[in-house]
Amino acid sequence: MNELIALMVIIPIACALLLNLFHKKDNTVKIIAIVVAIVLPLIPILANFGLHYFGGHAPLITNPSLLEKVPETIANSSLAIFHPAVTYSYEAIQKVFIFFLGIVAFFAIFTSLSQNKKISGVLMFLMFMGTAAVTALLLSDDIFHMYIFFEIAALTQVGIILTSKTDNNYETAFKYLILGAIGAPMLLVGIGFVLGIVGSVNITDIVYAISQNLVYPFSHSLLIAFGLIFFGWLYVSGLPPFHTIKANVYSQALPNAAALLQVFTVITFIAFGITIFRIFSYLPFFKTLVLIFALLAMILGITMAIMQTDFRKMIGFLAVGELGYIGLGFGLGTELSITAGLFQGINEIIVTALLFIGFGTVLYLTKTSDTRKLGGMIEHTPKLAIMILIGGLAMAGVPPLNGFQSKLMIVQAALDSGFPEIAIIAVLISIVTFMVFVKAFHSIYLKPKPNNLKVLNKPVPNSSIIAITVLLILCIVLGLFPQLVTDSISQFAMGLI
């Protein structure tokens, strides 16, 4: 077994516990956090592909000597291939997403440490624990294990909101907890139904049992399980009807923390989306249902973004709308569409982090995120303004940036699947996204500076400039050379369908 697979989760958890222990010792917290943050994107590069069985309990079929010792009725049955342990699967798709998660986590932690005079060990604890949780979500082949780590990730998000000390942060955290008390238990009950029917929570085992008709695929219990798990998926990812609270979560966190929170959401959405697709894609109404909610997310997200005067909420609703493009990939259900959707997920991780950190420099200098009170900021940060503008164009799908590549693939997949209406909607949403961003950019940077606007007479922290520059380079590189990630993703998509 490849021990580095488990270490992708263990190291950030151990770091989180250490930081919480030394939370009053600023220098110690800073050194540990920076070192581990640097390590996070390196581990997925060094790790070999494969499986990790906790406790070493691999399926019987992988151990011929042990298989000979068990009764023949067991050795020749499906029990021999079932997974008795929690299994982590590490393939190319996990490598790509965990790498970019590590990149954004590093910059979120790096900028937070450099911009705050008093280092918060609690905030560092929450950031590392959340990173560990969503990494486990990606790796786990056990749906109950996924639920446990989602709950950990959700609690870290609430904690990050509370430590941000923004206006109405307590109210937003409380609302998110209340909704979690509804959505998360429904997800757990759905998982319980699956366990009762199949006798396993291992996803590969569940798929095998259904595909081989070891259980009746259209039983009422499985249909109820699908409904409950699907509703839970809407909650964990912030799709309608939970889009408003998810956007508020982003807006109530500090910008560098919000950059990491949106990565948590995207990866949670994708991890559970892949799981639901693997288990339930045989249902005749599955793809239609996913397409409906994906389109709702796109339309409602952009509609709400248009009405915002707070740029943090605007980016939050745009981020929710961008999830819809990923959902289209699952809903269309082709190799090209799934590849496009997952590529869109990577692009959203990068671009949205760039915008949160980039516009966060405006909040840092002016102490306001209200676009009605802003203006003339291009005089203070002209180079940053240009980089943020390019990042916004990437989100809107302007060529030759990365957002253009993934959205073009989604449009092509919709046309190939016989859904020109979806292709038209995807293009229109991109155009409106462009308009929303240009309007916000004009309000913040180009319109005359208000007389009562006070701008700090000090430079933007170098950590933010470095983060924005690197993320922008990734946008350009993936726009010019999308095959750097799409080749690996397409192989996964081929196996998924």
82-141 tens-digit pLDDT:
777 788 999 999 999 999 999 999 999 988 887 766 666 788 889 999 999 999 999 999
Tell me if 447 is assigned to some domain: yes
Q: What is d(CA 252, CA 400) in angstroms, rounded to the nearest whole number?
A: 33
Which residues of the chain, if any, have pLDDT below 70?
1, 23-24, 26, 56, 60-80, 116-120
The SS3 of residue 140 is strand
Tell me if 171 is assigned to some domain: no
8 A C-beta contact, residue 339 and residue 405: no
Tell me if 313 is assigned to some domain: yes
Tell me if 353 is assigned to some domain: yes
Q: What is the pLDDT of residue 408?
A: 95
Tell me if 30 is assigned to some domain: no
Report how many domains make up the chain: 1
Q: Retrieve residue 117's tokens.
A: 């005079």
Per-residue burial over 181-202, b if 16 or more Cβ lie within 10 Å, else e, is eebbebbbebbebbeebbebbb
Q: What is the pLDDT of residue 180?
A: 79
Mean pLDDT of the chain: 88
Tell me if 151 is assigned to some domain: no
Asked if the bond preceding 241 is cis, omega within 30° of 0, the reply is: yes
Tell me if 130 is assigned to some domain: no
Q: What is the pLDDT of residue 80?
A: 67
Count the Cβ atoms, other than its own, within 10 Å of residue 271.
25
8 A C-beta contact, residue 82 and residue 238: no
- pTM to 2 decimal places: 0.92
Range of the domain at 454: 284-497
Q: Is 215 left (phi over 0), alpha (psi -120 to 50) or beta?
A: beta
Q: What is d(CA 242, CA 320) in angstroms, rounded to the nearest whole number?
A: 10
Tell me if 274 is assigned to some domain: no
Q: What is d(CA 204, CA 196) in angstroms, rounded to the nearest whole number?
A: 16
Q: Report CA-CA distances (Å) from 7 to 54, 124, 135, 207, 492.
A: 12, 19, 10, 27, 23
Amino acid at position 452, single letter = N
